[in-house]
Every structure is written in C-alpha cells, then in structure tokens.
C-alpha cells in the first residue's frame, strides 16, 4: 500500500480503530525502555491487555518480567 493511501486511511480511523489495530499488531511491537552502557532494555506488550484507551489517548501496556521476576533480579540496579 502506498504511503498516501495509508495516510488517507489513518485520517479516517477513530481512536477505537487505532486501539484495535495496535492490539492486532501487538505481538510485533517492542518498546525501548532505556540503555545502560551497551545493554539495551526493551519490553514486549502485555499479552492480556496490550493497549487500552485512557481518555483521549491510547495507553501501551508493557510486560517485561516473567513469573520468576528474573529480569528485575538481574537488572534492578539499572532501573532506578
């Protein structure tokens, strides 16, 4: 699809439409959290609720820990 057609389509979307699209693509979205030295911190979107409406905005909900909290245990000193 050409850029101008995508822009035209995006201008017709409601915020609810955008939320739905982001939910559909949520398994392909990763969020940059930060960097310390040469270590980049990223997180995937929540599997249960990746995006939600928050007033007139779309809220992105991340999930960057596993059940054992291994991420937090390993990198907590950098997340202060």
> How far apart, in whole angstroms, are the C-alpha atoms of residue 40 and residue 34?
6
Per-residue pLDDT of the chain (80 residues; tens, 9 = 90+): 899 999 999 999 999 999 999 999 999 999 888 887 887 888 889 888 999 999 999 999 987 556 666 666 777 776 66
Report yes or no: 19 and 53 within 8 Å, Cβ to Cβ: yes
- The CA dihedral of 41, 46, 47, 53, to the nearest 10 degrees, is -150
Report yes or no: 44 and 33 within 8 Å, Cβ to Cβ: no
Predicted pLDDT at 71: 66
Report yes or no: 44 and 62 within 8 Å, Cβ to Cβ: yes
Report yes or no: 64 and 33 within 8 Å, Cβ to Cβ: yes
């Amino acid at each position: 699809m050409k850029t101008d057609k995508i822009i035209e389509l995006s201008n017709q979307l409601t915020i609810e439409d955008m939320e739905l699209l982001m939910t559909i693509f949520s398994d392909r979205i990763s969020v940059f959290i930060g960097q310390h030295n040469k270590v980049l911190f990223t997180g995937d979107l929540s599997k249960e609720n990746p995006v939600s409406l928050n007033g007139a905005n779309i809220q992105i909900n991340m999930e960057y820990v596993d059940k054992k909290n291994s991420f937090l245990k390993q990198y907590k000193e950098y997340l202060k």
